[in-house]
Chain A
Amino acid sequence: MPLDGGVSCLRRSEMIGIGIGELESPPLDSDQVHVLAVDDSLVDRIVIERLLRITSCKVTAVDSGWRALEFLGLDDDKSSVEFDRLKVDLIITDYCMPGMTGYELLKKIKESTSFREVPVVIMSSENVLTRIDRCLEEGAEDFLLKPVKLADVKRLRTYLTRDVKVSDRNKPKVPEDLSRFSSLAMVTPPPPPPPSITSVKSSSLEEIVSSSPPPSESSISPVDSPIRRMEMRSPGLD
C-alpha cells in the first residue's frame, strides 16, 4: 500500500475482513479525493458510487452507519491506531437508515477529533425543512434531495477542491431543494463576460495591470491568476 507522508488506506483484505468493500476502488493516490458513501440501499450505493467515480473520486461504499464508524475507526471496540492515518475527504450519507440514521452518524463524526473537519453531506428522499435545518445545524455541509443527479455531485466536487472555503462557511445555507425547484435561485453564477484588459478603466485595477507585463491576446493571464479573478468580479467596469 502506498504510504505518503502520513496518508494510508486499508488493504482490500482488511476491508473485506470487516465486511465492507463490496464496492471499493483500487488503492488510493494521496492527491485523489476519497469519499466514504453510506447507504443501506444497494441500488443507491451503486448509483452514488458511479456518480462519484465519474467525477474522479475514489469511493468506499458501506451499507450502514456502524460500518462507516468501523471504517473510520470511530467504533468503540477497535483501537483506532491502525486507522488514524486514513484519508477521507468527504462523507456522504443517506438520512433514513435502519439502526443508525445519517443524522446520528453525522453527530458522531462531528464529535470525533479525527474526522470532525471532514465535510458531511446528507442525502434524503424526503424534503422536510426541519430535517434539513437539523442536519445543517449539526454541521452538515450540504443536503441533497434524492434521487441524486450528476449535477449535484459535480457541485460537491467544486467545494472540495477550492482553496478558499471560508467565505462559503459564512454564507447562509440555502436548502438544496429550494434551489432545485426555484426558477430564481441558481446554484452557479452566470458566466462572466469575456474579460478584456484594455477595457479596464478603474484606477485600482490599472495599478495592478500596469505592474504586469504588457497585455496582448496571447498573454492573457490564466484563469486562476489574481488579475483575472479581479476582472471577473468586476465585469461592470468600462
Chain B
Amino acid sequence: MDTLVAQLQRQFRDYTISLSPGFFGFLDDQFTELKKLQDECSPDFVAEVVSLFFEDCEKLIGNMARALDQTGNVDFSLVGSSVHQLKGSSSSVGAKRVKGLCVTFKECCDSQNFEGCVRCLQQVDIEYKSLKAKLQDLFNLEQQIVQAGGRIPQVDI
C-alpha cells in the first residue's frame, strides 16, 4: 500500500528526472551542485539562488528588448553583453536550455542578425518562464513531502 509520502516522493523523483538532460533537458548537473550547498543552515539556498536568477533574467531581457527596440540604431554589442551575462548566470544555476539559447543568441548578436536576435529574445523569454514554472512545481512537491512528514529524496541530475 502506497503511503502519501511515498507517492509524493515518487512524483518528486519522476519530476526531477523529467527535467534532466536525458529527458526535457531543462536542468543540468550544475543544479545538483547547487543542491550540495543546501543544508540545515541554508535550507532554502537553491530556491533563493534560482529566484535571483529569474530576477536577473527579467532585468537582462528587458535590457535586450530595449536595445533591440532602437529601430535602425541597434547596439548589438550592448545586446551581446546582456546575453553574455545571462549565459553566465544560467550556467551557474544549471539552466541548461536557457544557456543553450544564449549561445545561439550570442551568435546572432555577433553577426548583427536583427531578426535572429528578436527570435532568440522571444525564445529566451518563454524558456526562462517555463523553467520558473517547473521549478515552482518542484519546490511545491518538496514542501508537500515535508508537510506530510517525509524526507525529500536525493535525486541527482
Question: A residues engaging B (CB < 8 A)?
Answer: 40-44, 46-47, 50-51, 54, 96, 98, 125, 146-150
Q: Is B48 an interface residue (CB 8 A)?
A: yes
Q: Can you show 10 pairs from A to B with CB atoms below 8 A apart?
A: A41-B85, A42-B56, A42-B89, A43-B93, A44-B92, A46-B52, A47-B93, A51-B37, A125-B87, A146-B91
Residue in contact with B88 in the complex, picked from A46, A146, A150, CB distance below 8 Å: A146
Q: Is B15 an interface residue (CB 8 A)?
A: no
In the bound complex, residues from chain A placing their C-beta under 8 Å from that of B87 are 125
In the bound complex, residues from chain B placing their C-beta under 8 Å from that of A150 are 33, 36-37
CB-CB contacts of B35-50 with A at 8 A, as 1s and 0s?
Answer: 0110100100100110
B36 touching A146, Cβ below 8 Å: no
Q: Is B26 an interface residue (CB 8 A)?
A: no
Question: B residues engaging A (CB < 8 A)?
Answer: 30, 33-34, 36-37, 39, 42, 45, 48-49, 52-53, 56, 81, 84-85, 87-89, 91-94
In the bound complex, residues from chain B placing their C-beta under 8 Å from that of A40 are 85
A147 touching B56, Cβ below 8 Å: no
Residue in contact with A43 in the complex, picked from B36, B37, B81, B89, CB distance below 8 Å: B89
A54 touching B84, Cβ below 8 Å: no
Residue in contact with B92 in the complex, picked from A43, A54, A96, CB distance below 8 Å: A43
A54 touching B37, Cβ below 8 Å: yes
> A71 → chain B, closest Cβ, in Å?
23
Residue in contact with A47 in the complex, picked from B39, B84, B85, B92, CB distance below 8 Å: B92
In the bound complex, residues from chain B placing their C-beta under 8 Å from that of A146 are 88, 91-92
In the bound complex, residues from chain B placing their C-beta under 8 Å from that of A96 are 84, 88
> B156 → chain A, closest Cβ, in Å?
13
> A58 → chain B, closest Cβ, in Å?
15
B33 touching A50, Cβ below 8 Å: no
A125 touching B33, Cβ below 8 Å: no
In the bound complex, residues from chain B placing their C-beta under 8 Å from that of A47 are 34, 37, 49, 92-93
Residue in contact with B30 in the complex, picked from A46, A54, A98, A147, CB distance below 8 Å: A147
In the bound complex, residues from chain B placing their C-beta under 8 Å from that of A147 are 30, 33, 91-92, 94
Residue in contact with B49 in the complex, picked from A46, A54, A125, CB distance below 8 Å: A46
Instruction: Determine the distance from Cα of A51 to Cα of B35 in the docked complex, in whole angstroms.
Output: 11
In the bound complex, residues from chain B placing their C-beta under 8 Å from that of A51 are 37
Instruction: Determine the distance from Cα of A148 to Cα of B92 in the docked complex, in whole angstroms.
Output: 7
In the bound complex, residues from chain A placing their C-beta under 8 Å from that of B36 are 150
Instruction: Determine the distance from Cα of A236 to Cα of B37 in the docked complex, in whole angstroms.
Output: 39
The 9 closest A-B pairs by CB, nearest first: A43-B89, A147-B92, A147-B30, A50-B37, A147-B91, A149-B33, A43-B53, A44-B92, A150-B36
Query: Taking CB as reference atom, which chain B residue is nearest A50?
Result: B37
> B91 → chain A, closest Cβ, in Å?
5
